Amino acid sequence: MKQFAELIRVIDGTNKTTLKVAALTEYFKTAPDEDKLWTIAILSHRRPKRPVNTTLMREWATEISGIPLWLFEESYHIVGDLAETIALILPTTNESSEKTLSQIIQELIELRKKEDSEKKAYLQENWLKLNYYERFVFNKIMTGGFRIGVSQKLMTRALSQATDIDQDVLAHKLMGSWTGENTTFKELVYEDNEVAMRGKPYPFYLAYAVENEVSDLGDVTQWSAEHKWDGIRSQTIIRSGEIFVWSRGEELVTDKYPEFQKFLDVIPDGTVIDGEILPYKDRQILSFNDLQTRIGRKTVGKKLLEDVPVVIVAYDLLEWQGNDIRELPFQERRALLDKLVLDSNEKANLIESDSMFPLLISETMSFTNWEDVAKERERSADRRSEGLMLKRKDSPYLVGRKKGDWWKWKVDPFTIDAVLTYAMRGHGRRANLYTDYTFGLWQDGELVTFAKAYSGLTDAEFRKVDAWIKKTRCNVLVL
């Protein structure tokens, strides 16, 4: 546990990526295999189920700290992190524990089946054997969410440096449904597996927002416009008779969208499609809220599949007949894509004529003047899009966010004047800052709350609003 806690302390204590990677690499070189496996599991959101709920954790921590529960709650609101609050209020001790990370996790797994009294004894005993930072990490293992600025990508980079295994190969090996309980470090990392390469995605090309006048982009006939759909940007890979669906966050989401398995019947191997996953039913795009009901699920039930079916609206073709075609001009890639979508729909129709084939095309439009482009943008709300995408007709498919060839031209959001009725402190980086707001509107002399907001402001803007709230708030007595 000491070594793992120290790793987390170093990572959490720096905002430099190189230092984080160096600390992780060192850890992966020196820690025992079982600990390494659990470290990967924890950092990739595969921690074991929590053995104790947070209400009990608070009670038991408060009990040995000798403070009233309300004072714990007040402290928690200000600290903004439960694991940290508990670690801070517990009495300091000089004892120490030599248990390893995997030992502790094993104990926590076994603890799940035990009675509350045993759980309480276990937690209280172990809390007092750990120093402040180990306690914090111990609590985090139970409460979850190590938000310490280590992405899956960063962890993979460090593991790659420690093992000399290619990063992309590792990235894929670490995907999927394994847990720390059903595999070993050797099996997970070293077992040879050329399958890994099969699902490898291309980096996404991302657009910047139009900065000034759209007409500054020059000759309108050089540009292809299409609507910007509000779903999940994805990359669908069909190779060697298998399908892989990646989200833009480079998360493998194939299992969340079983609809797309149909692609295997009609789309040839060696095809990679860039597109938007959208909820779509009765020839109508549903709202992003509908899609959200599917995003969070690991397994999707039959009812949900019927209520919120999804499709891919294809934007681009990156690989065709096994060749990387990203260097081809956009127009040529699109010609191939249009044909692919048409052909596969026809083929699918022959197999199963009564059901919807979940691959549509995002229509491209050409214009002769910018005024017409602007008019089309105004129709975005009716078409349920966020605005327009403008792509230079001869542009290659680039890597990452690049200026010049692709622009997004979103519609302006609607605005409303409302009353800030309530503010809450945020968590983590926003702890002790009022960053979560509730808004109300007047109706018959009464304020009716209608919305909550916690994003969209910059750090500087949050500080400004926070300062204003702290100055002007009326204290609400919490009983």
Contact between 131 and other proteins (CB under 8 A)? no
Contact between 428 and other proteins (CB under 8 A)? yes
Binding part of the chain for other proteins, among 7-15, 105-113, 320-328, 366-374 by CB under 8 A, reads 7-15
User: Distances in Å between the alpha carbon of 229 and those of 104, 144, 256?
Assistant: 46, 33, 20
The residue within the footprint of other proteins, chosen from 22, 56, 64, 88 (CB under 8 A), is 88
Minimum gap (Å) between residue 453 Cβ and other proteins: 20
* Binding track over 45-74 against other proteins, x by CB under 8 A: --------------------x-xx-xxx-x
Nearer to other proteins, 2 or 239 (CB): 2
Tokens of 71: 């004072």
Contact between 364 and other proteins (CB under 8 A)? no
Nearer to other proteins, 375 or 470 (CB): 470
Nearer to other proteins, 35 or 84 (CB): 84
* Binding track over 371-410 against other proteins, x by CB under 8 A: ----------------------------------------
Contact between 476 and other proteins (CB under 8 A)? no
Residues 6+ apart with CB under 8 A from 103: 1
The residue within the footprint of other proteins, chosen from 5, 89, 158, 169 (CB under 8 A), is 89
- As a whole number of angstroms, the distance between CA 280 and CA 287 comes to 9
Nearer to other proteins, 240 or 432 (CB): 432
Contact between 113 and other proteins (CB under 8 A)? no
Nearer to other proteins, 71 or 399 (CB): 71
Binding part of the chain for other proteins, among 28-36, 321-329, 448-456, 464-472 by CB under 8 A, reads 464-472
The residue within the footprint of other proteins, chosen from 188, 362, 433, 437 (CB under 8 A), is 433
Contact between 430 and other proteins (CB under 8 A)? yes
Nearest residue to 398 (alpha-carbon basis) of 478, 312, 327, 449:
327
The residue within the footprint of other proteins, chosen from 17, 287, 323, 432 (CB under 8 A), is 432
Minimum gap (Å) between residue 53 Cβ and other proteins: 22
Nearer to other proteins, 210 or 469 (CB): 469
Minimum gap (Å) between residue 81 Cβ and other proteins: 7
Nearer to other proteins, 346 or 459 (CB): 459
Q: Are strands 223-229 and 406-410 parallel, antiparallel or unpaired?
A: unpaired
Contact between 85 and other proteins (CB under 8 A)? yes
Tokens of 134: 């180990």
Nearer to other proteins, 84 or 316 (CB): 84
Tokens of 359: 């691959």
The residue within the footprint of other proteins, chosen from 186, 339, 429, 452 (CB under 8 A), is 429
Given a contact cutoff of 8 angstroms between Cβ atoms, the answer to whether 407 and 207 are in contact is yes
Minimum gap (Å) between residue 87 Cβ and other proteins: 9
Q: Find the radius of gyration of the CA atoms of the chain.
A: 26
Minimum gap (Å) between residue 16 Cβ and other proteins: 7
Minimum gap (Å) between residue 132 Cβ and other proteins: 9
Contact between 198 and other proteins (CB under 8 A)? no
Q: Are strands 310-320 and 400-401 parallel, antiparallel or unpaired?
A: unpaired
Nearer to other proteins, 84 or 134 (CB): 84
- As a whole number of angstroms, the distance between CA 85 and CA 105 comes to 21
Q: Tell me the sheet residues that pair with 431.
A: 426
Strand-by-strand arrangement of the 223-229 sheet? 208-209, 406-410, 385-392, 223-229
Contact between 13 and other proteins (CB under 8 A)? yes
Nearer to other proteins, 18 or 368 (CB): 18
The binding site for other proteins (CB under 8 A) comprises: 12-16, 65, 67-68, 70-72, 74-75, 78-81, 84-85, 88-89, 92, 427-433, 459, 463, 466-467, 470-471, 475
